[in-house]
A and B are shown apart, each in its own frame.
Chain A
Amino acid sequence: MSLESLLPVSILLSSLLPGVFIFLVKEESHILRGVLNMAGALIKLLLVGVMIWGVYRGEVYETRLTLAPGLDLVLAADALSVLFVTLSTVLWLVTTIYAIGYLEHSPNRSRFFGFFSLCVSATVGIALAGNLLSFVIFYEILTLATYPLVAHRGTPDATRGAKIYLAYTMSGGVLLLVGAIWLQAITGPVDFTQGGYLGVLSEGLHGPLVAVFLLLLAGLGVKAAIVPLHGWLPQSMVAPAPVSALLHAVAVVKAGAFGILRVVYDVYGVGLADQLGLLTLLGILASTTIIYGSIRALSQDGLKKRLAYSTVSQVSYIALGASILGPIATIGGMVHLVHQGIMKITLFFCAGNYAETLGVHNVSQMDGVGRRMPLTTLAFSVGALGMIGIPPIAGFVTKWYLGLGAVEADAHWVLLVLAASSLLNAAYFLPILYRAWFRPEPDSWPKESLPQGRFETMGALLWPPLITAALCLIAGLFAAAPFSPLEWAELIARREYL
Chain B
Amino acid sequence: MVDSLALAVSVPLVGGLLATAIPKRAQALGLLASLVAVIAVAWVLVGVWQEGSLRSELGGWAAPLGIALVADGLSAALLAMAALVALGVGVYATGYFRRGDAAAHFWPLWLLLWAALNGLLLAADLFNIYVTLELLGLTAAALGALTGSVEAVSANLRYLLVGLLGSMTYLLGVALLYTAHGTLDLGLLAAVIQPGPVAASALVLMTAGLALKAALFPLHFWLPPAHANAPAPVSAALSALVVKAAFYLILRLWLDVFAPVVTPWAASLMGLLGAMAIIWGSWRALRSERLKLLAAYSTVAQIGYLCLFIPLLQALPPGSERDDLFVALVLMALTHGLAKAGLFLAAGLVQRDAGHDRIDDLGGTAQNMPATTFTIALAGTALIGLPPSGSFIGKWILMTSAIESGQWWWILVILVGTLLAAAYVFRVLSRAFNLEPTPRRFVTQARTEVPALLLALASVAVLGLAADSLWRLLGMGEGA
Contact = CB atoms under 8 A, between A and B. Distances in A.
Do A and B actually bind?
yes
Interface of A: 23-24, 26-28, 65-71, 73, 107-111, 133, 136-138, 140-141, 144, 147-148, 151-155, 158-159, 162-163, 166, 170-171, 174, 177-178, 181-182, 184-185
A69 B403 contact: no
B441 interface: yes
Contact of A151 (B415, B433, B471): B433
B477 interface: yes
B386 A181 contact: no
Given A170-B419, A171-B419, A178-B415, A152 B433 contact: yes
A71 B393 contact: yes
B324 A68 contact: yes
B52 interface: no
22 contacts: A23-B374, A26-B441, A66-B468, A67-B465, A68-B393, A68-B468, A69-B320, A69-B478, A70-B324, A71-B396, A71-B397, A73-B465, A140-B386, A141-B388, A144-B381, A151-B430, A151-B433, A154-B435, A162-B433, A177-B399, A181-B400, A181-B403
B328 interface: yes
B166 to A, nearest CB: 34
Nearest to B320: A69
A174 B433 contact: no
Contacts of B442: 23-24, 110
A170 B397 contact: no
Interface in B412-427: 415, 418-419, 422, 426
A166 B426 contact: yes
B320 A163 contact: no
A311 B441 CA distance: 38
A137 B440 contact: no
Given A162-B433, A166-B426, A67 B468 contact: yes
A162 B431 CA distance: 12
B426 A27 contact: no
A141 B460 CA distance: 12
Interface of B: 320, 324, 327-328, 331, 370, 374, 377, 381, 386-388, 392-393, 396-397, 399-400, 403-404, 411, 415, 418-419, 422, 426, 429-430, 433-443, 464-465, 467-468, 471, 477-478
Nearest to A65: B465
B430 A67 contact: no
A68 B387 contact: no
B413 to A, nearest CB: 12
Contact of A69 (B324, B387, B441, B443): B324
User: From DSSP, what is the main secondary structure of chain A's interface residues?
Assistant: helix
Given A133-B396, A141-B388, A166-B426, A185 B433 contact: no
B430 A68 contact: no
A178 B399 contact: yes
Contact of B430 (A71, A136, A162): A162
A348 B433 CA distance: 24
B387 A159 contact: no
A213 to B, nearest CB: 16
Given A67-B464, A181-B403, A148 B433 contact: yes
A163 B471 contact: no
Contacts of B477: 68-69
Contacts of B471: 68-69
Contacts of B464: 67
The 6 A-B pairs at the shortest CB distance, nearest first, are namely: A137-B387, A107-B438, A151-B433, A154-B434, A185-B403, A154-B433
Contacts of B387: 136-138, 140-141
A85 to B, nearest CB: 20
B439 A27 contact: yes
A137 B393 CA distance: 10
A27 B411 CA distance: 44
Contacts of A152: 433
Contact of A166 (B422, B433, B465, B467): B422
B400 A184 contact: yes
Contact of A185 (B331, B404, B436, B465): B404
Contacts of A155: 435
Nearest to A153: B433
Nearest to A134: B387
A23 B386 contact: no
B324 to A, nearest CB: 6
Nearest to A169: B422
Given A148-B433, A154-B436, 4 more contacts: A68-B468, A153-B433, A159-B434, A181-B403
Contacts of B324: 68-70
A111 B370 contact: yes
A108 B436 CA distance: 10
B415 A174 contact: yes
Nearest to A163: B430
B112 to A, nearest CB: 36
A138 B392 CA distance: 12
Q: Which of B324, B328, B433, B442 has the most CB of A within 10 A?
A: B433
A140 B395 CA distance: 14
A182 to B, nearest CB: 6
B438 A170 contact: no
B328 A68 contact: yes
A177 B471 CA distance: 23
A166 B430 CA distance: 11
Contacts of B465: 65, 67, 73
A93 to B, nearest CB: 25
Contacts of A154: 433-436
Q: Which of A69, A138, A141, A148 has the most CB of B within 10 A?
A: A69
